[in-house]
Every structure is written in structure tokens, then in C-alpha cells.
Amino acid sequence: MTQKEKVAFVIDTLENLYPEVPIPLDHKDPYTLLIAVLLSAQCTDVRVNQITPKLFAIADNPYDMAKLTIEEIADIIRPCGLSPMKSKGIYGLSHILIDKYNGEVPADMSALESLPAVGHKTASVVMSQAFGVPAFPVDTHIHRLMYRWNLSSGKNVVQTENDAKRIFPEDKWNKLHLQMIWYGREYSPARGWKLEKDIITSKIAKKTMITELLKNHKQ
């Protein structure tokens, strides 16, 4: 199975499985998405979706968030983990958005990455899902799948993102990365993984094995 064939198979299968794919984190605008993604670091989306309604009921915009203290934010988001760092980030970025961007989240990767506690993945999610700018945020699911599908070396997420952007069409990135997240959770988890239930990985492994056998036979 050539890389081109793998890519086509992955895209077609994911499109059949997830023709409509929701964003895992509940939000209503770029700001609430930014906060939700920030909170999701080392935390499940399910837990984040349980906590953000409590936070957003009090402050769902930078102006209201800036009125809270770091300690007040930390008390609400503590179940998400890393609350000291995340609360400082939320407080700090809210003030920066007010002072530099009139309370709006900038649709610019560099500007987003310069905000406190906002890394490349968080910025990429906001750019792709809030503003529709092509990006390929790599989380643990995508990193795992790219390695299992032999589409990336799996050395680090930077390499995985570069490989994904290189082999997948740019106009597919924003939807495809979401499809891969849902697929990873449902069919190809890190724990309790069963190859026979992993539709894409098992097909690729089988085709690759057949190709290798035929190649060895010819030699």
C-alpha cells in the first residue's frame, strides 16, 4: 500500500464514518474556545465541558474574566488540573486581549502563541475551528494514529504535524484533524486497543503485509 493509497483510504474511511464532526469542546465564540482549549491541557474534554459552564456563567468574555482574581479562577477550574498555571494564563491573556485587541481574540497564529499559557496546539485549534484558517493541531490521538498508520515516525508532535501537513490536502486539514480525534477515541485508543476493531489500522497493516510478501516473492 503506497502512501498515496493510505492517505486516500484514510480520508475516505473517516468521511464515511464522520460526515459531520462536532468540535469536542463546548464553546460559543473564539474566546470561549480559546479558554476551553487552554483548560484541556492534560485534561479530558469531558471534564473541561463539565467545568466551563461554571466558569462561563460568571465570565464568558475577557472583560468579565479580568474582573476575577487569579485565585477565583483557580478555584473554579481546579478539577481540570494545573490550575495555578492555567488560572494565571486565563487572567493574563484576558487583560492582554482587552489592552491590545479591544477584547477580541486575534485571528493570527503568532499573536495567539504570544498569549500566556497558549501553546502552538491551542493556537492551531483556535485558528482552525474559530477562524477557519487551515491548521493541523496534533493531540495524543492524532500522534498515535499517524504512527500506527505508518504516516509519521512518531518521534514528536512537531514532526507528526509536519508530516500530516505534507501528506494530507490543505483543504482537508480542519475537518480531518477532528475526524481523527473521534476515530482515535472510538476505534484506536491507547489503552484496550484491539487491532481487529481498528478499521483503518488493520486494513493498512494487512495491505502492507501483502505488499511486502509480494515484493519478497519477486526477489
Tell me the C-alpha distance between 141 and 19, whole Å.
Answer: 19
Of the candidates 60, 139, 163, 198, the residue annotated as catalytic is 139
**CB-CB contact of 155 with 7 (8 Å):** no
Q: What dihedral do alpha carbons 177, 89, 81, 57 form, nearest 10°?
A: -90
Question: Is residue 121 annotated as part of the catalytic site, yes or no?
Answer: yes
**Helices 199-218, 3-17: crossing angle, 10 deg rounding:** 160
How far, in Å, CA of 112 to CA of 95, rounded? 14
User: Largest alpha-carbon pair distance within the chain?
Assistant: 72
Catalytic residue among 121, 172, 175, 203: 121
| Cβ neighbours around 168 below 10 Å, total | 18
Grid cell of 187 as nine digits: 476505534
Contact by Cβ (8 Å): 109, 124 = yes
For 49: left if phi > 0, alpha if psi spans -120 to 50, otherwise beta; the answer is: alpha
Q: Active-site positions?
A: 121, 139
